[in-house]
Structure 1
């Protein structure tokens, strides 16, 4: 067995890595049902975190308009979905407490979110934001390659160019492929790691490896879960991000229940 040395110099056995189970599509469906049930049981927590997420999206859109960058609204909205798992940490804690029969309260839930942000979850947040910044950099690079350095006075003007010109259609095609690759990488790194870090004492590297193992072991159900998230978020963002107020908590709770099905409980 691997060993580690503690701060006092004593040699301690290394914690075993989390065990990943095989699941099916029915587990994903049941996780969604359980997530909806959690939201119905504690709607105020869900609406609070969902509202924060939606307000963040609106603030980003307003900033783009203020600085004359409306054409970045679509790619930034797509990238905004990537930080959802970090915002949903409080929802994982609500689901964990309901599962364990522990009382729900704003102090304990928010306290866990704050405490975890100072630990390994802080590194996971850095990974998430880093991938989002890479996505935005790729968007600007593709804009320069396919559309030059022209500016767009409005989002509709940008939309007209990318849907009616050969260069614009190529930008859309390549951009969606690059975005899909980055989104798949980030999904694989974070879908299990965020709830795992909340649930037990592991480092963020182990958490990311476990998350990737969960996706590679169960590619069809896990990538199906990712596709469902992408489609639902696209629909929810159309009415000025307002649909995310309800969708985020359901997805957050569902992610916790999917984690419970994929990773065996600690011994």
Structure 2
């Protein structure tokens, strides 16, 4: 009996949750549902939107105030650590709306501790990837031509290698983070199960994920060109849409009605 129980627990570790196939236009539907979530929980959305907006605004303030980029790395590391926790709060709001409940700030804050080991482990994983990128960027920068006005030909090696390495890391981060936080919060599974399931889901829905990544980049760009003020709406919007993406893509035993 103990051996059987041990084997069962072992089988539960680092498994891959099944995923559904969605159309390439599905991300637009997720965004439309996210707008409805904002309309149904405007105050909570505003509270979390303000918190998320303060983070990039603070980073930009220190960069301009001290005229140095040295504050960016520690600031982004801090965001990587606390960002997933606040995103979990927004996922909880969308989840409560899905269940027909009235979301509250207290309930959403409690959701940040539903799977603390997994959530902090995920934040640490993102931080490690980010530090690796910073080190690689420093090495790639060594290829930058040591001339005042380099030509495109002189810049080609620097630009090519930087684009390839940056692209690989961006795709990697997107694949492991697209569904990992949502899976860990609702299913309370281990980090490896969530990461493997997220990567598989992204691979299964490559077309939809390319569209979704493009929409995220466009909205984040809008957030920065508005002086970070746009993030007040954009961050709740993306978080709610990410929850609906999770509902649509990661399979459950029972069908879900809020898709």
Asked if the contact 2:52/2:232 (under 8 Å) is kept, the reply is yes
Change (3 A) 1:141 1:66: farther
Aligned to 1:120: 118
TM-score by length of 1: 0.79
1:21 counterpart residue number: 20
Kept after mapping to 2: 8 A contact 1:3/1:13: no
Specify the alignment match of 2:215 in structure 1.
228
Q: How does 1:253-264 map to 2 (within 5 A)?
A: 253-264=240-251
TM-score normalised over the length of structure 2: 0.81
The equivalences for 1:77-156 within 5 A come to 87-113=86-112, 115-116=113-114, 118-146=116-144
1:191 aligned onto 2:178: yes
After superposition, the C-alpha distances for 1:92-114 in whole angstroms (9 at most, x for unaligned) are: 1100011012231111111111x
Shift of 1:64: 3.1
Deviation (angstroms), 1:145: 2.7
Unmatched runs of 5 consecutive residues or more in structure 1: 151-159
1:160-175 alignment, distance < 5 Å? 171-175=158-162
Match of 1:51 in 2: 50
- Across the two proteins, how many residue pairs are aligned to each other? 246
Once the two structures are superposed, what CA deviation does each residue of 1:69-104 show, in whole Å capped at 9, x if it has no partner? 34997xx99xx7998655422111100011012231
Distance in 2, matches of 1:166 and 1:239, equals 35
Could you say which residue in structure 1 is the equivalent of 2:257?
none
Residue 178 (structure 1) shift: 2.5
- CA-based RMSD of the aligned residues comes to 3.3
Contact 2:44 2:104 in 1 (8 A): no
Residue 45 of structure 1 and its aligned partner are, at CA, apart by 1.9
Residue 217 of structure 1 and its aligned partner are, at CA, apart by: 0.8
Q: Which residue of 1 aligns with 2:187?
A: 200
Correspondence 1:26-37 to 2 at 5 A: 26-37=25-36
Q: CA deviation at 1:34?
A: 0.6
Contact 2:16 2:200 survives alignment (8 Å): no
Kept in 2: contact 1:32–1:254 (CA 8 A):
yes
Q: Kindly indicate whether the alpha-carbon contact (under 8 Å) linking 1:3 and 1:14 is maintained by their aligned counterparts in 2.
A: no
